[in-house]
């Protein structure tokens, strides 16, 4: 499958990195477009097709990713829609807050045709093949959705969801990756206060988080059930957990997620 990615910023660039590392498509079948030649420079060693011309990029892709800031989506779609072949190409729009009704209006050519389209929200871990990605079909057949999901699954995990949940998914996984990193920072600083060097503290926290994730994935345990396995009566773990709860740990996490979803 030939893939075109319009937008080589933080998220667009991460998608391109994931495509290259995932090897689901050949590098020569990837085209990257961005108005900034500087943004394209980091892909010259791995992707032979780079351009500052969005319309040129679109004409070579069977699946086109539009990965630009939300306020630029309409401009880019109106720019490229005349060269999009609605019978042969598919379109994935990666931008927070964009509605399906807007896409339908912006892509309308006046002939009643629609292009297979999806709203999509990954997170930047897609560059490391570890994204939690949300996919919402707008105009797409089931088999087309399965094809796009299979590609995204090579770069992490993908959930096909309803449009009404896309905002919640964004704050839980896309914003959530920043929240997880804030915990890493806080725990690492705590490790320094306990006597470890900064790099050692960070390594300890990262490996501990990785272990927690893999344990939950492997066992299917509810987090609270897994916590019970390491909290002995009167032990240090329960004392630490209770201090965190006294400081509003769970409440703070939930409030942050709800604030991000507004």
Angle at 250 between CA 248 and CA 256, to 5 degrees: 90
pLDDT tens sequence across 39-95 = 999 998 888 799 999 999 999 899 999 999 999 999 999 999 999 999 999 999 999
Contact (Cβ atoms closer than 8 angstroms) between residue 112 and residue 86: no
Q: 3-class secondary structure for 53-105?
A: CHHHHHHCCCEEEECCCHHHHHHHHHHHCCCCCCCCCEEEECCCCCCHHHHHH
CA distance 51 to 62: 17
| CB distance 3 to 19 below 8 Å | yes
Beta carbons within 8 Å of 125's beta carbon, 6+ residues apart: 14, 131, 132, 156, 177
53: CB partners within 8 A, 6+ apart? 33
What's 256's DSSP letter?
H
Half-sphere exposure of 186 (CA within 13 A, CB side): 8
pLDDT of residue 261: 81
pTM over 0.85: yes
Residue 135 bridge partners (DSSP): 120, 160
Which residues of the chain are modeled with pLDDT < 70? Answer: none
For residue 96, report the phi and psi dihedrals to the nearest 5 degrees: -70, 140
Please report the pLDDT score of residue 260 as a whole number: 83
Instruction: Please give the Cα distance from 126 to 132 (Å, whole number).
Output: 8
- Rounded alpha-carbon distances, angstroms, from residue 209 to 67, 214, 251: 30, 9, 20
């Amino acid at each position: 499958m030939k893939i075109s990615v319009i937008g080589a910023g933080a998220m667009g660039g991460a998608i391109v990195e994931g495509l290259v590392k995932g090897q689901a498509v050949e590098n020569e079948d990837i085209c990257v477009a961005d108005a900034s030649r500087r943004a394209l420079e980091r892909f010259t060693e791995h992707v032979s097709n780079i351009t500052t011309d969005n319309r040129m990029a679109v004409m070579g892709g069977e699946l086109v990713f539009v990965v630009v800031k939300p306020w630029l989506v309409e401009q880019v779609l109106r720019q490229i829609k005349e060269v999009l072949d609605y019978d042969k190409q598919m379109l994935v729009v990666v931008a927070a807050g964009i509605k399906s009704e807007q896409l339908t209006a912006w892509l309308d050519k006046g002939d009643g045709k629609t292009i297979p389209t999806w709203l999509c929200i990954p997170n930047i871990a897609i560059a490391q093949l570890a994204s939690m990605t949300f996919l919402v079909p707008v105009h797409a057949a089931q088999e087309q959705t399965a094809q796009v999901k299979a590609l995204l699954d090579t770069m992490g995990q993908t959930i096909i969801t309803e449009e009404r949940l896309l905002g919640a998914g964004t704050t839980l996984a896309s914003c959530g990756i920043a929240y997880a990193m804030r915990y890493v920072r806080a725990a690492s600083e705590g490790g320094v206060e306990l006597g470890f060097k900064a790099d050692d503290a960070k390594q300890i926290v990262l490996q501990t988080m990785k272990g927690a994730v893999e344990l939950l994935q492997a066992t299917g345990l509810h987090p609270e059930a897994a916590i019970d396995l390491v909290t002995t009566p009167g032990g240090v773990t329960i004392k630490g957990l209770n201090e965190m709860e006294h400081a509003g740990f769970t409440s703070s996490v939930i409030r942050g997620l709800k604030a991000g979803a507004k």
